Amino acid sequence: MKLKYHKRALRINLYLGTMWLVFGFIMLSSSSSSWISYPTVLFGILYFAHYFYMLKTQYITIENGFVFKNTLHKNKLLISDIIDIHKYAGDYTLTTANSKLVINTRHLDVESLKLLDLELNTLAIN
């Protein structure tokens, strides 16, 4: 099960990528083009790459007994190792003996948040 990013989070990266690319190409096309225009275009490309990565992988994946947080540094927890689920200020903290995973619910789509609530309620954690 993939829990999707909130559309706002996706759109922000898309808009920022577009903005940086437009500024970069305007700076490149101007007669007084300087070195600063190249990093500006690079920022735009990086924002677009981040947008497509977020769109493809989504925020949280729950499958094969694991919970994956799909960020640049992918975190994963074995569901059977979870000893505590703590909800505070809208964030879920899943804790095992060795590590913890914080799920920021503001990044989740409304429907995905409902699925996450159902999935975490089915776990028998004391």
List the chain domain ranges: 2-57, 60-122
Is residue 125 predicted with pLDDT exceeding 80? no
Radius of gyration of the chain (CA): 19
Of 97, 96, 93, 88, residue with least CA distance to 120: 93
Q: What is the pLDDT of residues 46-83, one digit of tens each?
A: 999 999 999 999 999 999 989 999 988 888 899 989 99
CA distance 49 to 126: 41
Q: What is the pLDDT of residues 95-114, one digit of tens each?
A: 999 999 999 999 999 999 99
What pLDDT sits at residue 113?
92
Q: Is the dihedral of CA 10, 11, 17, 20 positive or negative?
A: negative
Please, where are the H alpha helices in the chain?
A: 7-29, 37-57, 110-122
What pLDDT sits at residue 126?
52
CA distance 16 to 125: 41
What pLDDT sits at residue 74?
84
- What is the SS3 assignment for 81? helix
DSSP state of 6: P
Structure tokens at 33: 């083009």
What pLDDT sits at residue 114?
92
Is residue 29 predicted with pLDDT exceeding 60? yes
